[in-house]
Amino acid sequence: MRKSLIAIGVVLVLISCSESKETKLQRFLLKGNMMALDHDDDQALDYYQEALKLDPCFTDALNNTGTIYFQLKRYDLALENYEKAISCDANYLNAYFNRANTYYELKEYYRTLKDLDRVIQAKPDTAIAYFTRGLAFTKLRDFSAALEAFDKSVLLDPTKVEYFVNRATVKYYRKDFDGARIDLFHAKGINSNEATIYNTESMIEVELKNYTKAMELINQAITLTPAEPYFINNRGFIYLSLGELDMAEADINKGIGLDPYNGWAYRNKGIYYFLKNDFESAERLLKQALDMDPFIDKIHFYLGMGYLKNGKQAIACEQFNMSEELGDKMLTADLIKTCQ
């Protein structure tokens, strides 16, 4: 649900008649920014490189180069440029924030938090820093810390739909469905056409086993954003819950085609194979999902079921224990007895 929040800051400069070094730097930066806004990444990078030839420590050019690579999902090169900017100026906060976002995409959440701490220490009223901190804590399943961070972001800027939706998601994880619905109501007041609102409402209805209502809501989300792989995958999970396996498989496969790096889709495909009694395929895909993202909801329970069906009781019980420690509350009395 999270959207990329890194933006290139356009620096407007007055170009004087004399071509000083500073003037040339700002001219290249401005041209690069204009090309970036036109989505001409190659030309933008060329202009930033021209600036960096004049001054290898021109932090704005380094930062914006990193941002181009971030948007291209070249996270290694994005990090390289953000780190150069920080090495040139240890107080350059834009690079810390952008590096935090890059670490987030790389699932290095503790590094994300460390960089955000630096930003917040310098500028404690930066709402987006608290928001991103909330995202990182959510991934770490530290829901209390995530909620605290989202509370701060909403307090500082109550106009952002994504702040309310992500806080609602944390409340959903904490089973505070009424609190989640209140946040989603506020989000609709800001922008009722935000698809993530209806996706989150759908998740709540799934948890309450109101699958017909959940399907209605997820279809509303997909109508608003037809090519969003997370929504399509979530609809696939609803189909799984309804026992409509062919429809589920079609949606899950479509979701994987749109985003082959979404571990949740592989979890759902593992559940699909489990329901088809293909337990070897189920175990393989659930293990793949866990390897891709260890913070997927209820992944340890489902993987435990895969191991159990394949006669691997000991490691199944290890997964069940991890599931219980995370508060999934999925184990039945029979499963508990199996592991005693």
- Is 300 inside a domain boundary? yes
The DSSP code sequence of 53-99 is: HH-TT-HHHHHHHHHHHHHTT-HHHHHHHHHHHHHH-TT-HHHHHHH
Q: With beta carbons less than 8 A apart as the criterion, state whether 252 and 265 touch.
A: yes
Residues whose CB falls within 8 Å of the CB of residue 40, separated by 6 or more in sequence, listed in order: none
CA distance 82 to 96: 7
Inter-residue long-range contacts of 129-134, CB under 8 Å, 24+ positions, other chains counted: 129/97, 129/100, 130/156, 131/5, 131/160, 131/162, 131/163, 131/166, 132/5, 132/97, 132/100, 132/101, 132/104, 134/166, 134/167, 134/170
Over the stretch 258-281, which tens digit does the pLDDT of each residue have? 999 999 999 999 999 999 999 999
57 phi and psi angles, rounded to 5 deg: -110, 30
- Is 142 inside a domain boundary? no
CA distance 97 to 78: 12
- Is 131 inside a domain boundary? no
Choice among 126-130, 213-217, 239-243, 336-340 with the minimum mean pLDDT:
336-340
Q: Is the pLDDT of residue 5 over 50?
A: no
Choice among 20-24, 95-99, 297-301 with the minimum mean pLDDT:
20-24
pLDDT at 11: 40
Choice among 35-44, 150-159, 177-186 with the minimum mean pLDDT:
35-44
Q: Which residues of 31-50 are buried (b: 16+ CB within 10 A; e: fewer)?
A: bbbebbeeeeeeebbebbeb
Q: Measured at the alpha carbon of residue 241, what is the angle toward residues 223 and 338, in degrees to the nearest 5?
A: 150
Reported as a pLDDT band with limits 50, 70 and 90, residue 294 is confident
Q: Is the pLDDT of residue 329 over 90?
A: no
Chosen domain end from 101, 126, 146: 101
Q: What is the CATH number of the domain that holds 288?
A: 1.25.40.10
What is the token pair recorded at 253? 């496969």
CA distance 45 to 190: 36
Chosen domain end from 101, 130, 165: 101
How many Cα atoms sit within 13 Å of 93 on the Cβ side?
12
Reported as a pLDDT band with limits 50, 70 and 90, residue 18 is low
CA distance 156 to 29: 31
Q: Is the pLDDT of residue 143 over 90?
A: yes
- Is 140 inside a domain boundary? no
- Is 168 inside a domain boundary? no
What is the token pair recorded at 283? 């175990």
Percentage of residues in the chain having pLDDT higher than 70: 94
- Is 182 inside a domain boundary? no
Reported as a pLDDT band with limits 50, 70 and 90, residue 290 is very high
CA distance 286 to 263: 9
CA distance 19 to 35: 22
Q: Is the pLDDT of residue 148 over 80?
A: yes
Q: Is the pLDDT of residue 14 over 70?
A: no
CB atoms within 10 A of CB 202: 27
CA distance 76 to 69: 8
Q: Is the pLDDT of residue 251 over 90?
A: yes
Which of 289, 282, 291 lies closest to 312 in space, CA to CA?
Answer: 282
Rounded to an integer, the average pLDDT of 116-123 is 97
- Is 119 inside a domain boundary? no
Total tally of structural domains belonging to the chain: 2
Structural domain boundaries enclosing 96? 1-101
Q: Is the pLDDT of residue 131 over 80?
A: yes
Chosen domain end from 101, 119, 147: 101
- Is 60 inside a domain boundary? yes
